């Protein structure tokens, strides 16, 4: 059984297309999982939602399965990630940060159609699960079970904290996104794999990340893949398509 998994597209259609081309090059897969954060970041939020919607239509709902992430939820609900003010001296910086953040989310939302919004509504708050014969249960989440926001399955998380985050789920392997850091680690009762980020990697600027998992005779082989894409074209889109903060896109994509 072969499972392709990708996450954290963040409105970067050029990077998404690079991943999909690489996916097409590896041959037939049995299951494709997208772990959320389709929108907000780069210049093509609506196009990314529509591309994923088309994948679901092309492959069918049984093969192409999608869940939402925290930034998708922010567009749906108007919520924002908590950013507490730490000191009086940081007030002005945080105020400007809030304004920039909210402008980005509002602009991204304005690009979505009603059909895009409905699609995001249906994938919000979901998890994925499959049973692999001879291997066991495989869980898919955006961040952690039950929440799309905590960083409890990151590369610096203690084994104990990671196990606690998975305590009320059954399985052997957890696939999670959200942190934008590729990861493959064993925390005794679970193996946790993060495929990295399609559209906004924190560690490999210029590359779009995803993972191919092959299950055979009870064993798992993991191929953490990263493919180059045209970063400058993605940056140029931010300028031509009216992105509210092109400088932020440059920072995201160039690292």
Please, which pLDDT band fits residue 99 given cuts at 50, 70 and 90? confident
- Which ranges constitute the DSSP H helices of 60-90? 70-77
CA atoms of 102 and 37, how far apart (whole Å)? 16
pLDDT band at 80 (very low <50, low <70, confident <90, very high): confident
Q: What percent of the chain has pLDDT over 70?
A: 98
Spatial distance between the Cα atoms of 217 and 81, rounded to a whole number of angstroms: 42
Q: Return the bridge partners of 185, or none.
A: 192
Predicted TM-score of the model (pTM) = 0.95
Instruction: Provide the pLDDT confidence category of residue 89 given band limits of 50, 70 and 90.
Output: confident
Q: Radius of gyration of the chain from Cα atoms?
A: 18
Could you report the per-residue pLDDT of 30-40, keeping only the tens digit for each? 999 999 999 99
Contact 10, 40 (CB under 8 A): yes
Q: Map residue 233 onto helix, strand or coil.
A: helix
Report the mean per-residue pLDDT for the chain. Answer: 95
Burial 94-119 (b: 16+ CB within 10 A, else e): eeeeeeebeebbebbbebbeeebeeb
Residue 16, Ramachandran bin (φ over 0: left; ψ between -120 and 50: alpha; else beta): alpha
Q: Are 27 and 57 in contact (CB under 8 A)?
A: no
Q: In the CATH scheme, what is the code of domain 2-130+194-254?
A: 3.60.21.10
């Amino acid at each position: 059984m072969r499972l392709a998994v990708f996450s954290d597209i963040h409105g970067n259609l050029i990077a998404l297309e690079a991943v999909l081309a690489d996916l097409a090059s590896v041959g037939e897969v049995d299951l494709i999982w997208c772990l959320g954060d389709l929108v907000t970041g780069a210049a093509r939020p609506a196009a990314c939602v529509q591309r994923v919607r088309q994948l679901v239509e092309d492959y069918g709902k049984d093969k192409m399965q999608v869940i939402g992430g925290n930034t998708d939820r922010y567009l749906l609900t108007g919520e924002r990630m908590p950013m507490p003010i730490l000191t009086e001296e940081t007030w002005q910086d945080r105020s400007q940060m809030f304004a920039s953040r909210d402008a980005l989310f509002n602009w991204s939302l304005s690009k979505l159609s009603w059909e895009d919004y409905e699609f995001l509504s249906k994938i919000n708050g979901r998890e994925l699960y499959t049973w692999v014969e001879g291997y066991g249960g495989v869980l898919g989440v955006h961040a952690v079970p039950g929440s799309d926001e905590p960083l409890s399955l990151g590369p610096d998380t203690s084994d104990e904290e990671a196990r606690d985050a998975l305590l009320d789920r059954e399985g052997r392997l957890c696939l999670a996104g959200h942190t934008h850091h590729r990861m493959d680690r064993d925390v005794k009762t679970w193996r946790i794999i993060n495929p990295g980020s399609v559209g906004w990697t924190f560690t490999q600027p210029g590359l779009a990340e995803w993972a191919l998992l092959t299950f055979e005779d009870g064993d798992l082989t993991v191929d953490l893949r990263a493919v180059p894409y045209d970063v400058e074209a993605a940056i140029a889109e931010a300028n031509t398509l009216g992105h509210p903060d092109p400088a932020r896109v440059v920072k995201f994509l160039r690292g």
